[in-house]
Amino acid sequence: MVYKNTISNDSENESSVRMFSEAADNIATCSNDLLIVAEAIAQSCLMIGTTGDDYREVLTSRAKDFKMLAGLYKARSMRFAHIVDSLVGGIESDANLVENALAEDN
């Protein structure tokens, strides 16, 4: 006797919700970690005698880059959270998502 390997829509939805939720959480954690690193770099640049003037400019630039990357990670995390909401039925599929709002502002 042959059994068909079928996955119900509910099971598939539940699996998708779980995966997108985990992705959103992991990316949000990375965003928070990047912000902590950026703040530590910025604080060390403010301390007198810890870095030379040449290095201070480079490190300040890196801190800004980390903050920008953290913002992008946060936007992606929110995108995955919106996907979870739409899978659960919390928002409409045409909702104005974070990336769309960021693109319209620029």
The pTM of the full predicted model, rounded to 2 decimals, is: 0.67
More confident residue, 94 or 16: 16
Comparing 8-17, 22-31, 60-69, 97-106, which segment has the lowest mean pLDDT? 97-106
Residues 6+ apart with CB under 8 A from 85: 91
- Express each pLDDT in 57-103 by its tens digit: 888 899 999 999 999 999 999 999 998 988 888 555 444 555 555 54
Q: What is the largest CA-CA distance in the chain?
A: 78
| DSSP code at position 91 | S
- Structure tokens, 4: 């068909």
Decide if pLDDT at 51 tops 80.
Answer: no
